Amino acid sequence: MTHPPVDNREHRLCVAPMMAWTDRHCRVFHRQLTRHARLYTEMVTTGAIRHGDRDRLLAFDAAEQPVALQVGGCDPADMALAARVAADYGYAEININVGCPSDRVQHGAFGACLMAEPARVADCVSAMRAAAPLPVTVKTRIGIDHRDDYAFLHAFAGQVADAGCEVLIVHARKAWLSGLSPKANREVPPLDYERVYRLKRDFPALRVVLNGGINTLDQAAIALKQVDGVMIGRAAYQRPWLLAGVDRQLFGERDEPVTRHDAIRALLPYIERAMHDDAELKHVTRHLLGLFHGCPGGRRWRRLLSEQAHRPGAGIDTLLAALAEVPEQSTAEVA
């Protein structure tokens, strides 16, 4: 099957897949702030894709593109099905989760525990590439438990690259498969960026994306001197205005920047459509709470939405009333 080549800039800045956070409403909001960053869904298991309500799980707004589907699974046939379905829905990429250390994910025999089975991951990559004309990418750690030397990571990367993985997203911490919560696994194991940089030097044809601990675009720019891309997670969600500088700072765009108020106004037609279907205002506004972080009126914005958006009948007027409490910026104040 013919696969389009991966563009050098496609993964320059990615927003990480985050369970309970990066749903379709969040992604449409993020797309108001950056045209070029690659967005990722929450992880969807192959079992859910095979047996669940696919439209509820997988449908997305065209405005989100480029958007990638992250899947959790370990059976090549199920993963091939996921790739075909992802292609049918129009995703730009399908990503394999080999990084999550949660007990639930381990019980499903996927996530970070799959680092111990590189041949199985490689079989999944091969099956997915044969099934659909989508880039197949892998998100992983630098190691697991006591299998955390560079040779282990190098061997894993080599096998999945040989199977056809063109982009390897590496969270620069190892994962402890027992004894640490998922939250602690994002914070306690030390970061080792040099190991990821070394991987890129050893696999120059493999697109390597660094994940973990990147909180600013200046940090991202420094990392991009060593790797092909950077993935930002919690910082992009909790302080989403960070994304407003991506297109100019990392992609060289020179268009007039949006303001925070512009971003909300641009989102209104989507919110109206979503509420016409089955969404409630709170389903969207929970992703907007950090937009005015550090701005005059930002606390009032957050408090009004937190208190008002969940009430019966809350609609666009509720959002506009909260927006009116925050002084409007000029574009000169935009990052």
Q: Is the pLDDT of residue 335 over 80?
A: no
Q: Is 18 annotated as a binding residue?
A: yes
Residue range 135-170, pLDDT digits in tens:
999 999 999 998 889 999 999 999 999 999 999 999
Q: Is the pLDDT of residue 178 over 90?
A: no
- Same domain assignment for residues 239 and 182: yes
Domain assignment present for 4: no
Give the residue-averaged pLDDT of 11-29: 97
Give the residue-averaged pLDDT of 252-268: 92
Q: Is the pLDDT of residue 245 over 60?
A: yes
Residue 8's pLDDT band (cuts 50, 70, 90): low
- Same domain assignment for residues 23 and 105: yes
CATH number at residue 118: 3.20.20.70
CATH number at residue 281: 1.20.120.1460
Residue range 76-108, pLDDT digits in tens:
999 999 999 999 999 999 999 999 888 766 656
Give the residue-averaged pLDDT of 131-138: 97
Residue range 192-237, pLDDT digits in tens:
999 999 999 999 999 999 999 999 999 999 999 999 999 999 999 9
Task: Tell me how many domains the chain contains.
Answer: 2
Domain assignment present for 162: yes
- Same domain assignment for residues 71 and 175: yes
Residue 249's pLDDT band (cuts 50, 70, 90): very high
Please give the pLDDT value at position 2.
65
- Same domain assignment for residues 122 and 269: no
Q: Is the pLDDT of residue 9 over 70?
A: yes
Domain housing 288: 260-326
Burial of 21 (0-12, 13-18, 19+ CB in 10 A): middle
- Same domain assignment for residues 129 and 208: yes
End of a domain among 249, 280, 298? 249
Please give the pLDDT value at position 331.
47
- Same domain assignment for residues 278 and 230: no
Residue 295's pLDDT band (cuts 50, 70, 90): very high
Q: Is 70 annotated as a binding residue?
A: yes
Q: Is 135 annotated as a binding residue?
A: no
Residue range 307-330, pLDDT digits in tens:
999 999 999 999 999 999 999 875
Q: Is 171 annotated as a binding residue?
A: yes
- Same domain assignment for residues 94 and 65: yes
User: What backbone phi and psi angles, to 5 degrees, belong to 97?
Assistant: -80, 110
- Same domain assignment for residues 203 and 264: no
- Same domain assignment for residues 178 and 211: yes
End of a domain among 249, 270, 296? 249
Q: Is 234 annotated as a binding residue?
A: yes
Q: Which of 175-189, 267-281, 300-314 bottoms out in mean pLDDT, i.e. has the lowest?
A: 175-189
The residues carrying an active-site annotation are 100
Domain assignment present for 226: yes
Q: Is 65 annotated as a binding residue?
A: no
Residue 5's pLDDT band (cuts 50, 70, 90): low
- Same domain assignment for residues 71 and 217: yes
Q: Is 298 annotated as a binding residue?
A: no
Distances (CA, A) of 88 to 27, 39, 119, 124, 331: 20, 18, 27, 19, 39
Residues contacting 191, CB < 8 A, separation 6+: 172, 173, 212, 213
Please give the pLDDT value at position 135.
97
Residue range 272-294, pLDDT digits in tens:
999 999 899 999 999 999 999 99
- Same domain assignment for residues 31 and 171: yes
Give the residue-averaged pLDDT of 44-58: 96
Share of the chain above pLDDT 90, in %: 83
Rounded to an integer, what distance in angstroms lies between the CA atom of residue 40 and that of residue 143? 23
Give the residue-averaged pLDDT of 172-178: 90
End of a domain among 249, 281, 299? 249
Rounded to an integer, what distance in angstroms lies between the CA atom of residue 324 and that of residue 335? 21
Please give the pLDDT value at position 332.
42
- Same domain assignment for residues 243 and 267: no
Q: Is 275 annotated as a binding residue?
A: no
